[in-house]
């Protein structure tokens, strides 16, 4: 298995215009590689959000169940790779991935804006999912400015939990002094 194809190939395909799966299949059939590295030109910016049947508020607990309704975004520069449909039942035994939502635009700020629109147009009903988490992350100034790292999500989630706890404590304290 090629994990690059499994996880993030839509981003590479969007910025290069090369269908990586087709090229891998051609090579597997004994055909020569059609490109040299210097022929691959990167253009624009692409972002991918992995939409999962998970509850981010409960440590990403899987959310098996029946998808009662789905609405995917569309338009130029928007790509949805999925296997699910309204009525599909998410089993508890497998990966919780519902779809890979990828967008492309001329630069990173435009791609971020396009992804925010695509997420707003997406609706997954019947199971908990990660749409709202992605929307909140994309609104974060550090993410918008590209100031994040591989451990950023954990830090961001811990900070959000601490802020929620502080707000709850403040509400409870205010209720006691009234």
The answer to whether residue 34 is catalytic is no
Integer Cα distance of 39 and 134 in angstroms:
34
**Sign of the C-alpha dihedral, residues 49, 60, 2, 81?**
negative
Integer Cα distance of 53 and 24 in angstroms:
29
Active-site residue (options: 4, 22, 34, 71): 4
Contact (CB, 8 A) for 5 and 81: no
Contact (CB, 8 A) for 47 and 109: no
Integer Cα distance of 140 and 64 in angstroms:
29
In the three-class reduction of DSSP (H, G, I as helix; E, B as strand; rest coil), residue 17 is classed as: coil
For residue 169, give both structure tokens. 């404590």
Catalytic positions are: 4
């Amino acid at each position: 298995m090629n994990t690059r194809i499994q996880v993030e190939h839509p981003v590479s395909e969007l910025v290069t215009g090369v269908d990586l799966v087709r090229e891998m299949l051609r090579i597997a059939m004994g055909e020569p590689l059609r490109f040299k590295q210097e022929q691959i030109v990167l253009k624009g910016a692409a972002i991918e959000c992995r939409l999962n049947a998970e509850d981010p508020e409960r440590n990403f607990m899987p959310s098996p169940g029946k998808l009662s309704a789905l609405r995917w975004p569309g338009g130029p520069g928007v790509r949805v790779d999925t296997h699910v449909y309204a009525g599909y039942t998410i089993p508890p035994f497998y990966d919780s991935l519902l779809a890979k939502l990828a967008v492309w635009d001329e630069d990173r700020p435009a791609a971020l804006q396009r992804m925010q629109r695509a997420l707003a147009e997406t609706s997954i009903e019947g199971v908990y999912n990660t749409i709202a988490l992605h929307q909140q992350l994309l609104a974060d100034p550090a993410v918008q400015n590209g100031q994040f790292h591989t451990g950023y999500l954990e830090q961001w989630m811990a900070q959000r939990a601490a802020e929620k706890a502080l707000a709850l404590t403040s509400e409870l304290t205010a209720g006691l002094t009234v």
